[in-house]
Structure 1
Amino acid sequence: MIESGSHRPGVFARDFGLPDHTALRYEQPAPALRELLPSYAVLDSEEGFAHTDESWMLPSWAMIWIILAEAPISVSVGNRRYPKLSTAILYGVTSRAMPVISNGGVTIAIDISPLGWARFFRESAETLRDRITPLEEVLPAELVEELVHRLYYSDRALEVKGILDDIFTRALPPEHRDEPLIADIMKIVTAKGTTDLRAAATQIGIQPLKLRRLSQRYFGFPPKILLMRARFLRVFLEMMISPDHAHEAVLTSVYFDRSHFLRDAKRFLGMTPRQFMDMNVEYLTAALRARRLVLGVPTPSLDVSPPAADILETR
């Protein structure tokens, strides 16, 4: 397997809490890329161990996967099932937890923020949400070929960050005209307590209809859905990473009551939080812990980019 860890100083793989027969790296991209591609991950597991065969992904922003595993990988996204993923794929922005079936091998993931979507992709994020698309359908073929070739012949561990930084820095398109508004919308949909979308739209100087249109174009969903997703993940990820801690105070600071939280769990997990946590999520939990150690936040969908000086607290 690969060498687990990170190039970030002071981060140690022993703190990830990885299950046996698995490995993981999390990396922070080069400064010029961080607001667009918030993180890189390298996932690996040994073949033939039942607890490594099925894992889960939580709803998040879009993501590129480069699959270097020899055995097939299958994923279900809502009612869509993808029985054998191709080598280079794009996950659109997702709104449901997704089961992943594999049998060992390396996969490299590149997270894409809404700012990154505006910069690298012409398609609407709404069109490609909750689905998987071959990467060559949405990015230049020569870029996809270089990604696959260089990663395939790398050590698939310590060399990955440098390769991805180099490829995406050279491929970086000019700034998109909507990026200032996209950054403002990111602050809205990731802020703790934002509930009044009309007031939030006024604060950033746009009409609510334009807020909705831009949100669907670059974020994949209307802002109300994104607020609900962020609210749920903010509570649920703490429950996953620190299951022995009391979470009632965190829950009641965000939700009116527990039934409200359970309704969101049904929407975003398809089941109750306890049912989800009773499944094979040990590797997912280690990945959440690792990302928080490397980047400060366990999932890119809770990143605030650029850092908000003035978070909209309207509740």
Structure 2
Amino acid sequence: MSARCTVTANYLRTVPELRRYFASVFLIEIDVADGGAIEDFMFPDWATLRFNAQPSIAGNTRAGEPLPNSRFIVSGPRSQEAYMHTASLRQWGVLLHPLGWSLLIGEPASAFANRLADGMTHPAFAAFRPLAATLYGAEPDREGELARLTDFFLGITPRAEPAEEAIMRAYHALDDPEVDSVDKLAERAGINRRTLERLCQRVFGFPPKLLLRRQRFLRSLSQFTADPSLKWVGALDAGYYDQAQFVRDFREFMGMTPSEYGQRCKPVVEPVLRERARYRSEWLRERQLGAYLPG
């Protein structure tokens, strides 16, 4: 059972130069009472680099792949939940959209799909270890930490990516509920279906059909978390034929039913999803106004 805790999640803007890499930058602060620990899970998402002030967090994938305590954790792109166990924690993270993965990591995203890695030992992430070592000072300093994180990534020379425009077109199209087929996704991306299949495996981590289903599911999960008064029926994305289809997706992507999810203690997931819904709503408003090029 989880101990009493306070969880604060903040999704923050970054400088325009880094929006090629990041879907968002976030700071999560967890204060667990009496030196205790809490358990929760991470929902399916894009790849994430997480830098911890102290190595007080561990986890495992659905398949049971363990992650030892580390100052620097990498979550590959996920279509499944991953579990976490942590004491009090301060954690900065960057959510890499697929282009960011290609430009910064360069490895095939499919090789890290639904996997966790210790960034302090895995050779693919060696370039980011200096940030893990220098991000935090003796005392919490949100503005200083964000500045150090920003400066570090501004200093990185990105890899070449000839398909950059197609990747970003596909990425944005996945957020559009009207893009409900692989053919429509390929059309939005401006490439043929076979090229899209290869591109998605290389930089998104999954086949395009699975990506479309995952994004449809995540829109529903986010809407329910942002406004639980809707109940699940009211939160369902328009792309679902019926509730039974949603329940099947819920089992596939979360490893549990909606009822089981509702009964679980979610000390981290709920505040993170609520903050993320707020950030996304702000991003969409500004995108419609043409004022904010999304990361």
- The corresponding residue for 1:209 is 194
Higher mean C-alpha deviation, range 103-112 or range 286-295? 286-295
Deviation, 1:94, is 0.6
User: Would the alpha carbon gap of residues 81 and 49 (structure 1) be closer, same or farther in structure 2, given more than 3 Å must change?
Assistant: farther
User: Would the alpha carbon gap of residues 50 and 274 (structure 1) be closer, same or farther in structure 2, given more than 3 Å must change?
Assistant: farther
- The corresponding residue for 2:118 is 134
Q: Amino acid of the residue matched to residue 115 of structure 1?
A: L
User: Would the alpha carbon gap of residues 202 and 159 (structure 1) be closer, same or farther in structure 2, given more than 3 Å must change?
Assistant: same
Q: Residue 59 of structure 2: SS of its match in structure 1?
A: strand
Q: Residue 245 of structure 1: SS of its match in structure 2?
A: helix
Q: Amino acid of the residue matched to residue 121 of structure 1?
A: I
- Structure 1 segment 243-282 matched on structure 2, within 5 A: 243-246=228-231, 248-251=233-236, 253-282=238-267
User: Would the alpha carbon gap of residues 230 and 203 (structure 1) be closer, same or farther in structure 2, given more than 3 Å must change?
Assistant: closer
Query: Partners in 2 of 1:291 and 1:254 — Cα distance?
Result: 22
The question of 1:221 aligning with 2:206 is answered yes
Query: Partners in 2 of 1:78 and 1:34 — Cα distance?
Result: 31
Among candidates 2, 8, 21, match of residue 6 of structure 2: 21
Query: Partners in 2 of 1:307 and 1:67 — Cα distance?
Result: 31
The question of 1:123 aligning with 2:110 is answered no
Among candidates 155, 160, 163, match of residue 145 of structure 2: 160
- Structure 1 segment 1-315 matched on structure 2, within 5 A: 20-48=5-33, 53-71=38-56, 73-136=57-120, 137-138=122-123, 141=126, 143-153=128-138, 155-173=140-158, 176-246=161-231, 248-251=233-236, 253-296=238-281
Q: Does the CA-based 8 Å contact 1:236-1:273 persist in structure 2?
A: no
Deviation, 1:180, is 0.5
Query: Partners in 1 of 2:215 and 2:127 — Cα distance?
Result: 35
Deviation, 1:52, is 5.8
Higher mean C-alpha deviation, range 288-297 or range 178-187? 288-297
User: Would the alpha carbon gap of residues 26 and 148 (structure 1) be closer, same or farther in structure 2, given more than 3 Å must change?
Assistant: farther
Query: Partners in 2 of 1:155 and 1:250 — Cα distance?
Result: 37
Query: Partners in 1 of 2:35 and 2:43 — Cα distance?
Result: 21
Q: Residue 110 of structure 2: SS of its match in structure 1?
A: coil
Deviation, 1:198, is 2.4
User: Would the alpha carbon gap of residues 222 and 40 (structure 1) be closer, same or farther in structure 2, given more than 3 Å must change?
Assistant: same
Query: Partners in 2 of 1:208 and 1:159 — Cα distance?
Result: 45
Q: Does the CA-based 8 Å contact 1:28-1:34 persist in structure 2?
A: no
Please give the per-residue CA displacement for 1:123-148, whole angstroms capped at 9, x wherever unaligned: 10001111112325355645422342
Deviation, 1:55, is 1.9
User: Would the alpha carbon gap of residues 228 and 140 (structure 1) be closer, same or farther in structure 2, given more than 3 Å must change?
Assistant: closer
Q: Does the CA-based 8 Å contact 2:59-2:85 persist in structure 1?
A: yes
Query: Partners in 2 of 1:221 and 1:32 — Cα distance?
Result: 27
**What's the RMSD between the two structures over aligned residues?**
2.8
Question: In proportion to residue count, which structure has more helix?
Answer: 2
Q: Amino acid of the residue matched to residue 193 of structure 2?
A: P
Q: Residue 212 of structure 1: SS of its match in structure 2?
A: helix
Q: Amino acid of the residue matched to residue 230 of structure 2?
A: H
With the length of structure 1 as denominator, give the TM-score of the two structures: 0.80
Q: Does the CA-based 8 Å contact 2:36-2:87 persist in structure 1?
A: no
Query: Partners in 2 of 1:252 and 1:39 — Cα distance?
Result: 23
User: Would the alpha carbon gap of residues 49 and 269 (structure 1) be closer, same or farther in structure 2, given more than 3 Å must change?
Assistant: farther
With the length of structure 2 as denominator, give the TM-score of the two structures: 0.85
- The corresponding residue for 2:292 is none
Query: Partners in 2 of 1:203 and 1:110 — Cα distance?
Result: 26
Q: Amino acid of the residue matched to residue 227 of structure 2?
A: S
Q: Does the CA-based 8 Å contact 2:55-2:69 persist in structure 1?
A: no
Give the aligned length. Answer: 284
User: Would the alpha carbon gap of residues 253 and 106 (structure 1) be closer, same or farther in structure 2, given more than 3 Å must change?
Assistant: same
What percent of counterpart residues are identical?
A: 23
User: Would the alpha carbon gap of residues 117 and 250 (structure 1) be closer, same or farther in structure 2, given more than 3 Å must change?
Assistant: same
- Specify every segment of 5 or more residues in structure 1 that has no aligned partner in the other structure, as ranges: 1-18, 298-302, 310-315
Deviation, 1:209, is 1.2
Please give the per-residue CA displacement for 1:162-197, whole angstroms capped at 9, x wherever unaligned: 111111011142552111110121133222032331
